[in-house]
Amino acid sequence: MVADAPHETTDIEVARAYAAAAAVLDPEIPVLNLVDLGVLRRVERRSGSIVVSLSPTYTGCPATAAIQLAVACALIDAGIAGARTELVLSPAWTTDDITAAGRAKLKAYGIAPPGKGSPAMLFADEQVACPHCGSWQTSRISQFGSTPCKAQWRCDQCREPFDYFKCHR
């Protein structure tokens, strides 16, 4: 599901709310905004109030509350009173929701992005390209990285360690 684009509305306050929410950065990966990450599902007016719908990357994600608070603060800063956020659990977020721009930002930040359409692979053999040199000669160091959604890898070519954003489908 893609967030409703601001040009799809003639409601100026909804467009301002979308822009404010879209500018919020992920607290765990601060190079991705909520659109890049694919968690901003929609911004709409319901019963006179602005509602921002967000999907967590997984139901136990510790950043979910921080993201909701950051969006609420961004809406207040944008002068939008009485707005609220809601969590959308269905359809569930997957790594396929990360935009092409988001994938490029992850790579530039030194995090190997997940492949689009890749199945979830918890402990199976995966092929991950090094975000530093592009080599496919990489090895998983640990299934557990700096956040629950990442694993720690190392490039066998350039010897640099890097995080890999695990596939989640």
Where exactly are the structural domains of the chain? Answer: 6-93, 97-165
Average pLDDT value for the chain: 89
What is the per-residue pLDDT for 124? 52
Strand order in the sheet with 111-112: 111-112, 161-165, 150-155, 138-142
Q: 44: which DSSP letter? A: E
Contact 49, 82 (CB under 8 A): yes
99 or 60, which is more confident? 99
Percentage of the chain exceeding pLDDT 90: 74
Q: 73 pLDDT exceeds 80?
A: yes
109-149 confidence digits (pLDDT tens): 999 998 766 554 444 557 899 999 999 999 999 998 888 88
For residue 9, the model assigns a pLDDT of: 63
Non-local CB neighbours of 144 within 8 Å, separated by 6+ positions? 151, 152
- Name the CATH topology of 6-93: GMP Synthetase; Chain A, domain 3 (3.30.300)
As a whole-number percent, the residues of the chain with pLDDT over 70 amount to 88
* Residue 70 near residue 27, CB atoms below 8 Å: yes
State pLDDT tens for residues 19-32. Answer: 999 999 999 999 99
Do strands 111-112 and 161-165 pair parallel, antiparallel, or not at all (unpaired)?
parallel
The pLDDT value given to residue 7 = 47
* Residue 86 pLDDT: 97
Specify the pLDDT at position 118. 52
Which helix H or strand E contains 162, and what residues bound it?
Answer: strand 161-165
pLDDT, tens only, 50-60: 999 999 998 88
| pTM score | 0.84
Burial 135-155 (b: 16+ CB within 10 A, else e): eeebeeeeeebebebbbebbb
